[in-house]
Amino acid sequence: MNAQALKKFVEENRKLIIQHDDLLTRSEEWEDECLSYERDIEALMDFGNQAHERAEEAECRVRCLQDETSKLWEELKSFKQLSEGECTENFLIDTLISSLINTEEVASASHSFLEANSQVDVCEKMLEIWDSLTPSAHHILALASEVKNLQKDKDMLRMNLIKAEEEVEALFDENNALDEEYTRLTNLLDSEGIHVSGSIKNFKRKSSSAVEKNNDFSDAAGSPRKLLSRCYITQSPCNLI
């Protein structure tokens, strides 16, 4: 081998070494990026599980509130019918209503209910004759106020449930996007002749399992799911029962 050929060989070998170092550097960067995606997806999976649990709690609470509201409406209708009867019936109604509400808060609750609905003619007239209202009237107004509060609580929980469903769907879509990016990076590493570490492969199996669980949850609910905000019951104007 002459000097020129040796020089050419040395030069080519130097270029190969540079390319090899560059590939190693890029490979390390891609591995770091894959690990970062892995951590992000695990965090999103945990967040999605929490949203799932909160959605289930909200569904249970909504069902309970619907049952309570239905019972209260039926009881209120029954009380109105009994109030049109004899004095004995009025006494029984008043006693029954008193057992369902806090007697110490009847006056404040009934007055607040009338003030909140003062735009309704009936409520405005009852405010004008407030001092002459009977105890039975106070009890019925307090019960109506409690029903309205339960209705608002139920509506707020339903809104929170819808938000929870939308949030789970968004997390599912984001998880899919990260999984696609992971697949792209893995294919890129394979095309460069670099093997993916076992921990990343295990992550892919874990991610796939989490996606299947999210699919099961979404199918079971029948609609997309997203996070619950805390439900606050406020006193605001509403329609009279």
Q: Is the pTM of this model over 0.85?
A: no
CA-CA distance, 77 to 168, in Å (whole number)?
40
CA-CA distance, 25 to 52, in Å (whole number)?
41
Angle CA 148–109–103, to nearest 5? 115
Distant-in-sequence, close-in-space partners of 141: CB < 8 Å, separation ≥ 6: 109, 110, 113, 114, 126
Q: How many CB atoms lie within 10 A of CB 191?
A: 8
SS3 86: coil
CA-CA distance, 3 to 162, in Å (whole number)?
78
Angle CA 215–216–219, to nearest 5? 85
How many helical (H) and strand (E) elements, i.e. helices and strands, does the chain have? 6, 0
pLDDT tens for the 241 residues of the chain, in order: 577 777 888 888 888 888 888 888 888 888 888 888 888 888 888 888 888 888 888 889 888 988 888 888 888 887 776 666 566 766 777 777 777 776 667 778 888 888 888 888 888 888 888 887 877 788 888 888 888 888 899 999 999 999 999 999 999 999 999 999 999 999 988 887 655 454 444 544 444 454 444 444 444 444 444 444 433 333 333 333 3
CB 83 within 8 A of CB 134: no
